[in-house]
């Protein structure tokens, strides 16, 4: 039987502008078009649902998969986080699951291929937040370690925080995993326990504990496969018309992740590589360039 793989994303109506670009950029690549498509509908409008279905998406409304303190105060969009350990249950019948956060967009489809190839080995395919250009391994280490360390301690304990803050942060925003991998159940168990203590970064930190403390196998992919923009603003290669790593040899980014505040900015100050403005830093939008008004 041929392998069945699905790409998944999700969010609510307020996130749809980003989700639109995520799905459209995915469908603009040959590899992305070859995948089935699923959307966790956490409060989309009828018009937004119709657009998703036009792209071939199956929509599923997730439930609250965990009981935890403070749940009643959270918006339904939070379910896009808590539902992820249960993706094979929400979208049954697939061999491989490729999750991509709605605030990501695909620039080069080879990144998708790499995630799926890694997941076929039985490992969790992820891209750790580590690169020679990223600010939190230079001048911003104090800020990063304080914020993420406090979140680790809130979710787990001080000893876990002091130990794991030194490991490269595994970003849970883009990953691929086989349907029969033990990671799903393991992630759910760790996530459930952590949610009893905190809802801050809990999904991602639980995944890091699963890998680093529980020892479940992962395949760390290059940062270009899931580039967190707030850690290092990409450069723009004018000759290739692509966003690239901001350090030589300027490899093209596969997936840009508009993390934290960067998703709200119309432009960022981007250094240009080659072309008439080579070496200059100029304002440039980091949204998917193929986007149209919606």
pLDDT of residue 1: 60
| SS3 labels along the chain | CCCCEEEEEEECHHHHHHHHHHHHHHHCCHHHHHCEEEEEECCCCHHHHHHHHHCCEEEECCCCCCCCCCHHHCCHHHHHHHCHHHHHHHCCCCCEEEEECCCEEECCCHHHHHHHHHHCCCCEEEEECCCCCCHHHCCCHHHHHHHHHHHHHHHCCHHHHHHHCCCCCEEEEEEEEECCCCHHHHHHHHHHHHHCCCCCCHHHHHHHHHHHCCCCCEEECCHHHCEECCCCCCEEECCCCEEECCCCCCCECCEEECCHHHHHCCCEEEEEECCCCCCCEEEECCCCCCCCCC
pLDDT in tens, 90-125: 999 999 999 999 999 999 999 999 999 999 999 999
**For position 244, what pLDDT does the model report?**
98
Name the pTM for this structure: 0.96
Tens digit of each residue's pLDDT (9 = 90 or more) over 45-102:
999 999 999 999 999 999 999 999 999 999 999 999 999 999 999 999 999 999 999 9
């Amino acid at each position: 039987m041929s392998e069945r793989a699905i790409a998944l994303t999700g969010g609510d109506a307020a996130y749809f502008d980003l989700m639109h670009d995520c799905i459209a950029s995915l469908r603009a690549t040959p590899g992305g078009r070859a995948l089935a498509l699923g959307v966790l509908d956490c409060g989309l409008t009828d018009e937004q649902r119709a657009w998703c279905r036009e792209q071939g998406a199956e929509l599923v409304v997730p439930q609250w998969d965990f009981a935890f303190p403070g749940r009643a105060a959270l918006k339904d969009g939070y379910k896009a986080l808590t539902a992820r350990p249960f993706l094979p249950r929400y979208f049954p019948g697939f061999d491989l699951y490729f999750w991509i956060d709605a605030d990501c967009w695909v620039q080069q489809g080879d990144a998708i291929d790499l995630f799926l190839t890694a997941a076929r080995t039985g490992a969790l395919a992820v891209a750790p937040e580590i690169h020679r250009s990223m600010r939190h391994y230079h001048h911003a280490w104090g800020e990063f370690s304080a914020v993420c360390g406090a979140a680790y301690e809130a979710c787990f304990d001080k000893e876990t925080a002091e130990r794991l803050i030194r490991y490269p942060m595994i970003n849970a925003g883009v990953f691929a995993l086989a349907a029969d991998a033990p990671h799903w159940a393991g992630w759910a168990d760790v996530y459930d326990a952590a949610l009893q203590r905190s809802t801050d970064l809990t999904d991602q930190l639980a995944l890091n504990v699963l890998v680093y403390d529980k020892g479940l196998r992962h395949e760390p992919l290059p940062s270009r496969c899931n580039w967190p923009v707030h850690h290092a603003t990409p450069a723009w290669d004018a000759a290739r018309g692509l966003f690239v790593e901001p350090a030589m040899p300027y490899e093209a980014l596969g997936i840009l992740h508009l993390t934290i505040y960067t998703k709200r900015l119309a432009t960022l100050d981007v250094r240009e590589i080659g072309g008439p403005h080579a070496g200059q830093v100029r304002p440039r939008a980091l949204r998917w360039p193929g986007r149209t008004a919606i």
